A and B are shown apart, each in its own frame.
Chain A
C-alpha cells in the first residue's frame, strides 16, 4: 500500500456550494457542500445510491444543478456542458468507460478535440501527443490499437490519458478499482500519487472502505444525498466510516459457522465456452462444489466468469466438457431442464435477465414456474395462485412494496434482487449460482443477501458464488477458485490464503499454492 504523506495545501481549486439536484422521485443531492484542495486526493465515500456520481456529473457538466454553484479556483462558473468543464481543466473517468470499442485509442482520445489539417483528421499529430503524455506520466498506451481489443486495465489508462490530453488539472475517478485486480489497483494508486505530485487534484469516488483509508488525504462521506462529514484518515476507522455511510452500526464481518461440506453437487469437467464474438472465453475449466459449502470464484470481470455462469444455466452453448448437477448431466440442456434439475440462478444483470420490469412482482415471482401447476392449468393462467404465491414470498423475504401488483421496475435495486432471490430460493434447490449478487445494492440489502446465502449453505445447498468484489468472496466463501483468462489458476481453502496471494493469481502471476 502506498503512503499518504501529502501535506494538505491551503489552495482550494474546486468548490461546490449548496448543490441540490432532484430527479423524478428522488432527491439525489440535497444542499451539498464540497471542496477540493490543490494536489490532494479527496475520497468521496458512500454506498450505492448515495448521490456521489450525481454530484460528479453535475461538476462535470452532464447535468445542471437545480440550486447551488460551483467555483473553480475561487471563481464562480457556469458549467452547462462538458465543453465548459473541460475548458476549466476538469476531467472525468467514468465507472463505465466512455470509450468507443470500434475506434482506435487515438480516435477515442481526440474525439471532441480533434486536430484537423487541411480538412482531414491529423492522426499523426494526435499520436505524437499521446506518446508524449504516455511516457511523461508512465501510462503506456498504443495510439493505433482498437480499444475494444484492449484489456480493461489498459482501457482505464486510455481514459486517464484522455483527461491529460486536455490538460486536466482536476481529475474525477468514479469507482476506478471496480474492474481492477488488487495489484492493478496499487498501480493506479501509484499513478494517482504521481499526478498529485505534479499539481493535479483528484476526486476519488468509491464505496470500498479499505482503499479510502489507504490512499485518501481527506474523506467525505455521503449518505442519501447529503454530506455526513469530512474526516482525515488518521482520525477514523473502517467501523466509524461504515456507520457514517449507513447511519447505523454495521456488521463488517459475517459471522458464520464452520462449513460441513457433504457430497459433490456440481461437477464441472474441462468446460469450454465461447463468448458472443465466438472467441474462447472459458478454456478448460474443472471444479466441483459440494453440498453445504460456498465456492467463490474470484477474478476481475472479463476473464470468462460471465460466460461460465451462462453456460451453467443453459443460456450459452458449451463447446466441450461436461456439467453434472446432483449426478445428472445438464451439459447444453435448456434453461428449463436445468432449473428443474435443481439450479437456482441469480443472474449478473438483474434487470436484463432476471426480471420483466413491466410485469407485476407476482408475475416475476413465477417467471420460471409459470408453465406448470398451480400457476397454470392446461394452458390457462391461474391469477389467484400467482397472487397467493407472491404474498407468501413478499412476506418471507421482506420485499418492501405497497402491494404485489406493483411493477417490478418501480422497486429499488435491493428489492428487485430480493424478488429474484425469493423466486429462486423458494423452489427445492440443490445449487445456487449467484453472479455479482450484491452489485449496486445498498448495505442493508447486501447484508440480507449475504445472510440468505449462508442460510442456504447451512441447509446443505451448494453455492457457487461469482463476484468481482474480493471482500465479498473472502467473507462468504469456504473455498476460493481464481479465474484468469478463462482458466482456473488456483483453488484454495479460504483460511489458507491471503488477499495478496489471491490478487497475484487474479493478475495472472503463477504462485505456488501451499497445500
Chain B
C-alpha cells in the first residue's frame, strides 16, 4: 500500500474525529470524545471489514462477488432465526442460542457463496449477473420468510415476533487498565485510562474481524494456500499448468468469502440489534466492495478503508449526542440526510481512482476455460 492512500485515510479519520471534538468540547473532554469516536468507529466498521475481507478472498481467486450484500442479508436473517428457534423452540439457554445463531449465519453465508460459485465457476454465468441474482434472491427469500413465519396466519409463531435470545456481550479487555496503578491517585489520569480502555472494549465479532484481518494477510502473502489463491486469480492457466486445481481453489475461496459475509450478517442481528428488518444491510455490502478496491485487494488496506466509512458513521451518531451544541455553520451535520450520504459519495470518489490507482487481480472476473 502506498503512503498517499494511507495518508488520505488518516487525514479523513482525523478530520472526522476532529469535527466531533470541536463541536462537543464544551460537553466532554477531548479524550473522552476521541476514545468514544474510536470505539464506535471500530464497532461500526465491523460489517464493512468482514464484507471487504469476503471480497478480498473471492476476488484474489478471480471471482467478482457483487453478492456480498445479499449474503449478509440472508445470513443476518437466518442467524437471527436460528437463535430464536434454539431459544424458543428447543429451549436452549440464551448464550448457547446466540452462539448457534452466529454459527447458522456463517453457514448461510457459505451456502449462498456456494450458489454464487456454482453459477459463476461451473455454469460460467457472468459474475456480476450471478451476484445480482444472489442479491435479488436474498431480498425475496428473507422478505417472504420473514412475513410467512411471523406474520402469516398459519405461521409458526402465530403473528408475533418472538424475542430473540439477545445480543453478544461486550468483552472487557483491560489492556490499559493494567496501567491504572501507575496513575497513583490522580482522578483525571484514572478517568483517561478508563476512557482509552473503552476503545478496546468491543464485542466478539468486532474483535474477530480485526484478528481475521491480520490472519488473512498472513495467509494470503506467506502461505502456500495464499500463493496458489493469488496465482489462480492472476493467471489461472499458469496455475493449471503446474498442477493446481483452479476450480477447487476458486470454489474454496468463494465459500470462505461467503462465510466472512455470513459473520458480517451475524453482526447486524446478533451483535448490533437483536431484531431483523427487511433490507437492514442498507448497502453496506456494496460499500465493502469500495473498501476492498480502495485497499487494493489487501486485507489491511481494506480494513483501513472500512475504518474511514466507520468513522463517518460514528460522526453521525455522535452528532446526535451533541445536537444542542452544534454551531450554526455546522448545523447541516445534524441532517442525517447529508451525513448519511457520505459513505456513498466517498465510495464514488474512491472509484474514480483520484486518490490512487488500484490494480485488481489480472484474471478477476473472467471464468476459467480449460
Does A62 contact B370, Cβ atoms closer than 8 Å?
Answer: yes
Q: Are A63 and B370 within 8 A (Cβ)?
A: yes
Smallest CB gap from A93: residue in B? B241
Are A111 and B239 within 8 A (Cβ)?
yes
Question: B326 CB to closest chain A CB, in angstroms?
Answer: 46
Contact B222 A60 (CB under 8 A): no
Check if A111 sits within 8 Å of B228, measured CB to CB. yes
A312 to B160, alpha carbons, bound, how many Å? 72
Residue A113 interfacial (CB < 8 Å): yes
Given contacts A103-B231, A120-B223, A121-B224, contact A86 B238 (CB under 8 A): no
A232 lies within 8 A of chain B by Cβ: no
In the bound complex, residues from chain A placing their C-beta under 8 Å from that of B240 are 62, 82
User: Can you name the residue of chain B whose Cβ is closest to the Cβ of A109?
Assistant: B242
Cβ-defined partner of B238 (8 Å) among A98, A119, A120: A98
Contact A100 B231, CB 8 Å, known A116-B224, A119-B223, A120-B222: yes
| 1/0 contact string of B137-173 vs chain A (CB within 8 Å) | 0000000000000000000000000000000000000
Give, as a whole number of angstroms, the nearest-CB distance from A86 to chain B: 6
**B102, chain A: closest CB distance, angstroms:** 27
Partner among B224, B230, B234, B243 whose Cβ is within 8 Å of the Cβ of A82: B243
B235 within 8 A of A: yes
B2 to chain A, nearest CB (A): 15
Given known A-B contacts A63-B370, A120-B222, A121-B227, A112 and B235 have beta carbons under 8 A apart = no
With A116-B224, A120-B223 in contact, is A86–B243 under 8 Å at CB? yes
A99 touches B235 (CB 8 A): yes
A107 touches B223 (CB 8 A): no
Asked if A15 is at the interface (CB within 8 A of a chain B CB), the reply is no
**Number of residues of chain A lying within 8 A (CB) of chain B:** 28
Inter-chain contacts of A120 with B (CB < 8 A): 222-223
When C-beta atoms are compared, the residue in chain B nearest to A61 turns out to be B243
CA of A417 to CA of B64, assembled, Å: 34
Which residues 216-269 of B have a CB within 8 angstroms of A? 222-224, 227-228, 230-231, 234-235, 237-245
| Interface-central residue, B238, B239, B241, B245, by most chain A CB under 10 Å | B241
Q: Which residues of A contact B241 (CB under 8 A)?
A: 60, 62, 82, 92, 94, 98
| CB of B339 to closest CB in A, whole Å | 38
The answer to whether A267 has its CB under 8 Å from any CB of chain B is no
B222 with A111: CB separation less than 8 A: no
Instruction: Give A33-89 interface residues, CB cut-off 8 Å to B.
Output: 60, 62-63, 81-83, 86
Q: How far is the CB of A229 from chain B (nearest CB, A)?
A: 30
Q: Is the interface of B mostly helix, strand, loop or mixed?
A: helix
Contact present for A107 and B242 (CB under 8 Å): no
Q: Establish whether residues B244 and A112, one from each chain, have CB atoms under 8 Å apart when the complex forms.
A: yes
Residues of B within 8 A of A119 (CB): 223
Q: Which residues between 203 and 217 of chain A lie within 8 Å of chain B, taking CB atoms?
A: none
Q: Which A-chain residue is minimally distant from B244 (CB atoms)?
A: A112
* A114 contacts the other chain (CB 8 A): yes
Residues in A neighbouring B222, C-beta threshold 8 A: 120-121
Decide if B244 touches A98 in the complex (CB within 8 Å): no
Taken residue by residue from 102 to 137, chain B's Cβ proximity to chain A (1 for < 8 Å, 0 otherwise) reads as 000000000000000000000000000000000000
CB distance from A285 to the nearest CB of B (A): 28
A residues near B362, Cβ cutoff 8 Å? 101-102
Query: Is the CB–CB distance between A86 and B242 below 8 Å?
Result: yes
Report 29 cross-chain contacts, Cβ distance below 8 Å, ordered by A residue: A62-B241, A62-B370, A63-B370, A82-B242, A82-B243, A86-B242, A98-B235, A98-B238, A99-B235, A99-B238, A100-B230, A100-B234, A101-B234, A101-B235, A102-B362, A103-B234, A107-B227, A110-B227, A111-B227, A111-B239, A112-B228, A112-B242, A112-B243, A112-B244, A113-B242, A114-B224, A114-B227, A116-B223, A162-B242
Q: A82-B240, A111-B242 are in contact. List 5 more A-B contacts (CB 8 A).
A: A62-B370, A81-B243, A92-B241, A116-B224, A120-B223
